[in-house]
Amino acid sequence: MKDVVEFTESDVLLRLPTARLPRAKADRQRLITLLKLALDRVAFGLDEVSAHRINAACHEYACADQNLPHNVASRGDLVTRRGKRGSYVYRATQPGIERARALLVELFNDDTELRV
């Protein structure tokens, strides 16, 4: 089993196998954001995560762009966004946390592409 998450003193770093990520950039943004939000909640008790942290995580997987806020917020059942452009904060909903948990289980149980 490979490590898929690295915990530092101040951040959660995703170490996802790129072959398992969705090919579509918007889907990749949603998946990475959802996992980042859920893991930041578990590791640091953060209910809301700044756009800066989300953008950094998406940048690591070459999917950060100006459409990220819209793409992520379009799945309001899993992730909510509030604030003004440039200072957004994101929050995983309870269904989002449950979906993130299922995605982490999928990472270890099979080799298929992950889907939000």
Q: Looking at residue 41, what is its pLDDT?
A: 96
User: Mean of the per-residue pLDDT values for the chain?
Assistant: 94
Q: Looking at residue 1, what is its pLDDT?
A: 42
Q: Which residue stretches of 1-116 are H helix?
A: 25-44, 51-60, 68-73, 94-109
Q: How far are the Cα atoms of 11, 34, 42, 110 from residue 71, in angstroms, in the given order?
A: 23, 12, 24, 27
Predicted confidence (pLDDT) per residue in 40-97, tens digit? 999 999 999 999 999 999 999 999 999 999 999 998 899 999 999 889 999 999 999 9
Q: Looking at residue 2, what is its pLDDT?
A: 59
Closest by Cα among 105, 15, 3 to 57 = 15
Pick left, alpha or beta for residue 112 (phi over 0 → left; psi -120 to 50 → alpha; otherwise beta): beta
